[in-house]
Amino acid sequence: MNNDTQTLLNMKKTIEQSKTALARLEGELSGKLKQLKTDFNCSNSAEAERKLAKIDKAIDKDEKTLKEAISKLQEEYDWS
């Protein structure tokens, strides 16, 4: 086998491996998107990021409210 033939065979093998890897990754992506829809009712990653930002904002607000309530209780009951 000459060098050009070997090079072409190596390229063909690489292409086939890449096709297989691509198919596997597409399957994984499909599964993750399905899980995102099932678990969080989001159709895509952008929607999930918006929902996460909203949840983070609510958590921050709740933490602030809780800290304020604790401070108020500490002042009222002279806790230190």
pLDDT tens per residue, range 42-62: 999 999 999 999 999 999 999
pLDDT beneath 50, residues of the chain = none
Instruction: Give the tokens for residue 22.
Output: 């691509």
Q: What is the pTM of this model?
A: 0.64
User: What pLDDT score was predicted for residue 71?
Assistant: 92
Instruction: Give the tokens for residue 73.
Output: 């209780």
Domain spans of the chain, in order of start: 1-41, 44-80
User: What pLDDT score was predicted for residue 80?
Assistant: 61
Question: Largest alpha-carbon pair distance within the chain?
Answer: 90
